Amino acid sequence: MAFLDYRMELSLSDQARQLALQLPRGYNPKSQALIEAWQAQGLTGRTLVDRALTYFREEAFYYTLRPPRLGVDSVDDFLFNTRRGFCEHYASAFVVMMRLAGVPARVVTGYQGAELNALGNYWIVRQRDAHAWAEVWLPERGWMRVDPTAAVAPERVERGIGAALPLAERPVTTWDGAFLRPLAQAWDLANTQWNRWVLGYDHDRQRSLLSRLHPLLTTLQGMLWAILVGVGGLLAILFWGLIPRNRAVHGDELAQLYERFRTRLRRAGITSGDTEGPLDLARRIRQSHPELANDVAAITVDYVAMRYGHPVDGGTARLRARIRRFRP
């Protein structure tokens, strides 16, 4: 919201006026002579402000981020010789001109312009959006904003610094393209969320996040209950993960029967590894213990058919009976 008719400090104290008119003595004689010539024409107050802006607008001033070096009388050198600079040059030169004319003035710095990040619905203010302008104090008006840069390079104010710079000073690469802009905004959003929820995560943000999950989590009692439930759930998951082998042996009837078969083989001195399949075990027994080959083969065929093939009615009962009779 903007208050365009707002009046700030309609009365100025002596101390504030003195600060807003302070200048070093003995500098910038050409600027002093220019102001005196305007005053001789009867220009004062607002008309003097307008005349200074017209001077910037009509003379050959240029906006650049690579201004030449200025001499001891820096404002004289800027107004009458180099005439090249960026917003700080124009704002400071304008303030000196106003103070030479007895008009209270000051330089104001801040930011002008920003970019809306549509993905996160927030504004991005970059260092390149930094800007300097001026304020002058006029009777019955108070402090009034004046931007002399707009008189020289209005595109700086309307479209940003990139539009005001000469072609040689504009960046070679830009993120303003239709394809690159969404990528840049997505990266900025990720970086912003990291700064907000990781680097800037504090007690207030913790309470805000917990309140979104459940209002009770914002209280100490609610947080304790949540911790107990979370720890209990974690222990249950860990316990469940520690017993898959026993569950498979005791809960799977086929696995239980085959394990009983392997136990009887171990009692007879025939061991098998966990990576040895049923068919491989049967072939090895046929070579090492041919007297057991037929019974082992019958048990193996039934088990493999039931486990990996198509189970048939009565197959499990038949396998159980074969293993019960198998006593090597």
Which residue numbers are catalytic?
A: 87, 131, 147
Q: Which residue matches tokens 């220019």?
A: 34
DSSP characters over 68-88 = PPP-SSHHHHIIIII-EE-HH
3-state secondary structure (DSSP) of residue 233: helix
Q: What number of other Cβ atoms are within 10 A of residue 229's Cβ? A: 10
- Helix %, strand %, coil % of the chain (to 5): 60, 10, 30
Two tokens, residue 61: 């001033």
Longest dimension (CA), the chain: 131
Question: Do 270 and 285 touch, CB atoms closer than 8 A?
Answer: yes
Distance of CA 193 to the CA centre of its chain: 4
Two tokens, residue 67: 């201004």
Q: Which residue matches tokens 């088990």?
A: 303
Question: Do 322 and 277 touch, CB atoms closer than 8 A?
Answer: no
Task: Quote the crossing angle between the two packed helices 45-58 and 87-100, to the nearest 10°.
Answer: 140
Helix (H) or strand (E) holding 22: none
Which residues, other chains included, contact 21 with Cβ-Cβ below 8 Å and sequence gap of 6+? 99, 102, 104
Question: Do 111 and 130 touch, CB atoms closer than 8 A?
Answer: yes
Alpha-carbon span 27 to 70, nearest angstrom: 13
